[in-house]
Amino acid sequence: MENMAEEELLPRQEEAAQVPTPAPDSARVPAPAPDSVPASAPTPASAPAPTLALAQAPALSPSLASAPEEDESKRHISIQRQLGDLEKLAFVTEGDFDSANSLNSDNLDAGNKQVCPLCPKEKFRACNSHKLRRHLQNLHWKVSVEFEGYRMCICHLPCRPVKPNIIGEQIFSKMGAHYHCIICSATITRRTDMLGHVRRHVNKGETKSRYIAASTAKPCTEILKETDTDVQVCPNYSIPQKTDSYFNPKMKLNRQLIFCTLAALAEERKPLECLDAFGATGIMGLQWAKHLGNAVKVTINDLNENSVTLIQENCHLNKLKVVVDSKEKKEGDDILEEGEENLGNIKVTKMDANVLMHLRSFDFIHLDPFGTSVNYLDSAFRNIRNLGIVSVTSTDISSLYAKAQHVARRHYGCNIVRTEYYKELAARIVVAAVARAAARCNKGIEVLFAVALEHFVLVVVRVLRGPTSADETAKKIQYLIHCQWCEERIFQKDGNMVEENPYRQLPCNCHGSMPGKTAIELGPLWSSSLFNTGFLKRMLFESLHHGLDEIQTLIKTLIFESECTPQSQFSVHASSNPNKQEENGVFIKTTDDVTTDYIAQGKRRSNEIITNLAKKQKTDVSTEHPPFYYNIHRHSIKGMNMPKLKKFLCYLSQAGFRVSRTHFDPMGVRTDAPLMQFKSILLKYSTPTYTGGQSEGNVQSASEDTVADRVEMSVNDKAEASGCRRW
């Protein structure tokens, strides 16, 4: 009887909520709360209680709307914890809540018809309880997506707008099935897409608990330290798709190379106006200003508003004054009063990089966009000062390393294939694009160094103003003939005349012995030197001066590669000049020597010094390193044990060829020896696999006479082979 009385009082409570009149005392009997009754043992009196909550908010789940944490993020009724919670929603029909309140669990077992809470009436009619339970389990629960104890069931309600189809005079709108995301309330049609959508939320750290806290709390930041410079980064800082301010710790080597370049340039003239066109967190510009001080005037630019704010905060974190729109920020003065000295001023700008480089002139410009940098080269060379430096970092390695050849053709206008020297090929492609952009602005370039590593391609060039320099630069862009059989390569000869048989330029004879077309044309590429030995030695001195130990090994490799001499030939001995320092056989010029050779007073050098520099470049052409390199494993002989790389370099040097290692490939050998002589020397000093006790060089086989003849031919024809110029 008490249950009957409570069931009669529930409709009166609902009417009292609708009509603003005082209810009688008998209607004020409190109903049992849904949280106080355990879900495992439902009673007839507790069944109508969640229906009242659903009557007030039919789009919410009764099991989710009660928790205080879940009140902040209202979830759809298709998101439930258990199948029983989904079955309870069958009491609620669209528009008839009074009849739903009169039902109880006894009526559910008696066979009364209920409707599906996740399907419209047109799709699924009212049915018995056992049929509805089977429908919910097979069509909604089994295809659900689970996340942190919840099930996101498929929903057929008209929650998602669908474009209607007009057929004749009638309009049909298809009810599309979809899922409701528990985190962002997005509607997604396919289950596989929903799984990927939830996975992306997890990768971003937007789980159920963190997502609620993120709406009220400020996203946490992290402070990293690199080269005595503190930088504040955002969450997911190493993933460019998930953050506005991208910071890649793997690019530390790149930043140190750029710093040594700027430090070497600062010894020529002071002060330098430097630009970091794509600041992101501002780590590179902060290192310039903090370690070089008043020798540089740093400008950090970024188009993103959040990145500009983060750059300003990082400047204050490193006790640097920030200048925005030619006005010093007062916050910087407050920080400097704490006892820290002013290390320099940094100007932070928010504009497009092309616009900024058109408006202002700079002595040093660094371009490091996300991907290719060809869209910013014309603006960079428009206002760069004479004898200034432009550094370009390209991270589109998929196109430069011949994995996406159509992209390389679209961005750089080059035809490339995957070769054994693909990294140097990528560096020459970027230099050729830089040279063409400089020539369009009546400027020439001098390549200081080019580095191609796993994650980036870095090219640093010095700008030479004038049409004469531009013409000389344009002549160094040539096409390359590459043999696909033996991978021999050579640059095409200068001239406008059509070659009758281009295969004659190749040192190999694959075209005569192999059927079909054996060679392809690659390019256009930069055909001149990729390194400036003097500038690299100054960079090594700056790395020693500033304590950059990680970069010194790479710079030493670049120096030996530029001179094309093996490192083992150098001996450590005392230097007679006190102004020179020696590090592992490399003489490093100090400031006095640099001043004599490079520095001129003022912003620009005189015409006499520029003329002397051009003459010095012409005399250094004969000592340029040979182009490209050979991989010793690529040309190994099957069934033979190759000699050690250091010993093989000595064997090539003893044969009269220039030889060195290369940073492009750990097992690469840069030499001016043709491929035939390279293979013959490699074969001579290789041992058969089955003769493990024999020493290198004592090969007892039937082909010993042939190998000796090949080596003798390589020594006799050395002068003739070295005359085959490759650029």
Element (H, E) at 670: strand 668-671
CA dist list (Å): 39 to 68, 85, 147: 18, 9, 21
When mean pLDDT is compared over 16-20, 288-292, 498-502, 574-578, the highest value belongs to 288-292
Which of the two residues, 682 and 709, has the higher pLDDT score? 682
Which of the two residues, 237 and 479, has the higher pLDDT score? 479
**346-395 per-position pLDDT tens digit:** 999 999 999 999 999 999 999 999 889 999 999 999 999 999 999 999 99
CA dist list (Å): 202 to 208, 211, 213, 215, 244: 9, 10, 15, 16, 19
Q: What b-and-e string marks burial along 280-319, b requiring 16 or more CB atoms within 10 Å of the CB?
A: bbbbbbbbbbbbbeebbbbbbbbbbeebbebbbbbbbebb
Residues 426 and 4: their CA atoms lie apart, in Å, by 85
What pLDDT does 532 receive?
95
Paired tokens of 640: 């033979």
- 585 contacts: CB under 8 Å, gap ≥ 6: 567, 570, 571, 572
Task: Determine the length of the chain.
Answer: 727
Q: Based on the domain organization, do 231 and 133 belong to the same domain?
A: no
Task: Point out the least confidently predicted range of 113-117, 151-155, 219-223.
Answer: 219-223
- Mutual angle of helices 675-684 and 704-716, in 10-degree steps: 140
- Side-chain-facing half-sphere of 562: CA atoms under 13 Å: 23
SS3 (DSSP) at 337 = coil
Q: Based on the domain organization, do 382 and 450 belong to the same domain?
A: yes
Amino acid (one-letter) located at 399: S
Residues 129 and 112: their CA atoms lie apart, in Å, by 7
Is 696 a domain residue?
Answer: no
pLDDT at 644 over 50: yes
Q: Based on the domain organization, do 250 and 358 belong to the same domain?
A: yes
Task: Point out the least confidently predicted range of 169-183, 233-247, 387-401, 420-434.
Answer: 169-183
Angle at 450 between CA 292 and CA 649, to 5 degrees: 120
**603-634 per-position pLDDT tens digit:** 444 455 545 554 444 444 446 889 999 999 88
Residues 430 and 427: their CA atoms lie apart, in Å, by 5
Determine how β-strand 640-641 pairs with β-strand 630-631. Answer: unpaired
Amino acid (one-letter) located at 29: V
pLDDT at 720 over 60: no
What pLDDT does 348 receive?
94
What pLDDT does 277 receive?
95
Peptide bond just before 524 cis, omega within 30 deg: yes
Is 58 a domain residue?
Answer: no
SS3 (DSSP) at 443 = strand
Q: Based on the domain organization, do 385 and 435 belong to the same domain?
A: yes
Choosing from 688, 703, 718, the residue where a domain stops is 688
pLDDT at 334 over 60: no
Q: Based on the domain organization, do 522 and 555 belong to the same domain?
A: no
pLDDT band at 165 (very low <50, low <70, confident <90, very high): low
pLDDT at 514 over 50: yes
Enumerate the β-bridge partners of residue 581. 588
Q: In this structure, how many other beta carbons lie within 10 angstroms of the beta carbon of residue 478?
A: 20
pLDDT band at 325 (very low <50, low <70, confident <90, very high): low
Q: Based on the domain organization, do 529 and 541 belong to the same domain?
A: no
Is 184 a domain residue?
Answer: yes
Contact 525, 459 (CB under 8 A): no
Q: Based on the domain organization, do 128 and 230 belong to the same domain?
A: no
pLDDT at 420 over 50: yes
Domain housing 312: 222-325+343-494+502-533
**541-584 per-position pLDDT tens digit:** 999 999 999 999 999 999 999 998 887 554 333 334 434 444 44
Tell which residue, 521, 549, 543, 365, has the closest CA to residue 441. 365
Mean pLDDT over 450-467 rounds to: 94
When mean pLDDT is compared over 118-122, 328-332, 577-581, 625-629, the highest value belongs to 625-629
**Phi (first) and psi of residue 240, to 5 degrees:** -65, -25
Mean pLDDT over 3-13 rounds to: 41
CA dihedral of 413, 417, 420, 424, whole degrees rounded to 10 = 10
Which of the two residues, 418 and 598, has the higher pLDDT score? 418
- 195 contacts: CB under 8 Å, gap ≥ 6: 145
Is 335 a domain residue?
Answer: no
Angle at 183 between CA 178 and CA 188, to 5 degrees: 20
Mean pLDDT over 496-507 rounds to: 76
Contact 120, 156 (CB under 8 A): yes
Task: Point out the least confidently predicted range of 60-74, 287-301, 555-569.
Answer: 60-74
pLDDT band at 302 (very low <50, low <70, confident <90, very high): very high
Q: Based on the domain organization, do 116 and 187 belong to the same domain?
A: yes
Which of the two residues, 213 and 188, has the higher pLDDT score? 188
Mean pLDDT over 123-150 rounds to: 86
When mean pLDDT is compared over 235-244, 287-296, 321-330, the highest value belongs to 287-296
Choosing from 563, 578, 607, the residue where a domain stops is 563
What pLDDT does 163 receive?
54
pLDDT at 154 over 50: yes
Contact 389, 462 (CB under 8 A): yes
What pLDDT does 139 receive?
86
**Phi (first) and psi of residue 96, to 5 degrees:** -130, 80
Is 30 a domain residue?
Answer: no
DSSP symbol at 161: -
Q: Based on the domain organization, do 542 and 517 belong to the same domain?
A: no
Q: Based on the domain organization, do 186 and 293 belong to the same domain?
A: no
What pLDDT does 360 receive?
94
CATH number at residue 646: 3.30.56.70
CATH number at residue 320: 3.40.50.150
**683-698 per-position pLDDT tens digit:** 889 888 865 444 444 4
pLDDT > 70: percent of the chain: 66
Mean pLDDT over 409-418 rounds to: 93
What pLDDT does 713 receive?
46
Task: Point out the least confidently predicted range of 110-119, 287-296, 399-408.
Answer: 110-119
Q: Based on the domain organization, do 634 and 487 belong to the same domain?
A: no
pLDDT at 24 over 80: no
Task: Point out the least confidently predicted range of 326-335, 517-526, 528-537.
Answer: 326-335
Residues 308 and 349: their CA atoms lie apart, in Å, by 7
pTM value surpassing 0.75: no
First-to-last alpha carbon distance for the chain, in angstroms, is: 105
Contact 279, 305 (CB under 8 A): no
pLDDT at 229 over 50: yes
pLDDT at 540 over 50: yes
What pLDDT does 585 receive?
43
- Side-chain-facing half-sphere of 637: CA atoms under 13 Å: 19
Contact 298, 362 (CB under 8 A): no
Is 585 a domain residue?
Answer: no
Report how many domains make up the chain: 4
What pLDDT does 132 receive?
86
Is 706 a domain residue?
Answer: no
Mean pLDDT over 95-105 rounds to: 40
Choosing from 670, 688, 706, the residue where a domain stops is 688
Determine how β-strand 321-324 pairs with β-strand 327-328. Answer: antiparallel
Q: Based on the domain organization, do 246 and 354 belong to the same domain?
A: yes
pLDDT at 485 over 90: no
Mean pLDDT over 90-117 rounds to: 52
pLDDT band at 499 (very low <50, low <70, confident <90, very high): confident
**Phi (first) and psi of residue 655, to 5 degrees:** -75, -5
Is 717 a domain residue?
Answer: no
Residues 657 and 724: their CA atoms lie apart, in Å, by 13
pLDDT band at 343 (very low <50, low <70, confident <90, very high): low
Residues 180 and 155: their CA atoms lie apart, in Å, by 8
Mean pLDDT over 55-61 rounds to: 38
pLDDT averaged over the chain? 74
